[in-house]
Amino acid sequence: MYVCICNAVTEKMIRQAAAEGVRSLGELTRRTGCSGECGSCADLAEEVLRDAHRRPRVQFNLPLIAQAA
């Protein structure tokens, strides 16, 4: 889903930026351009950024199926 139409920033891009350490809207704007034009996406961008930091990262330790003895 596009969050910032002006700069073609998607929710996935915001979540990736959060995973790389972006913590604030200002940092997000500098990194992606999100909310750097008209600013109408600022509230949604901050919401996605907060949500990305709230959710625990899922880490899969493969193999998922134990080997038979």
pLDDT band, residue 55 (cuts 50/70/90): confident
Compute how many other C-beta atoms are within 10 angstroms of the C-beta atom of residue 47.
13
pLDDT: which is higher, 62 or 52: 52
Rounded distance between C-alpha atoms, residue 56 and residue 69, angstroms: 33
Rounded distance between C-alpha atoms, residue 33 and residue 68, angstroms: 51
The verdict on pTM exceeding 0.75 is yes
The helix/strand/coil state of 20 is coil
* Contact status, residue 10 vs residue 3, Cβ threshold 8 Å: yes
How do the domains of the chain map onto residue ranges? Answer: 2-54
The helix/strand/coil state of 2 is strand
Fold (topology level) of 2-54: Arc Repressor Mutant, subunit A (1.10.10)
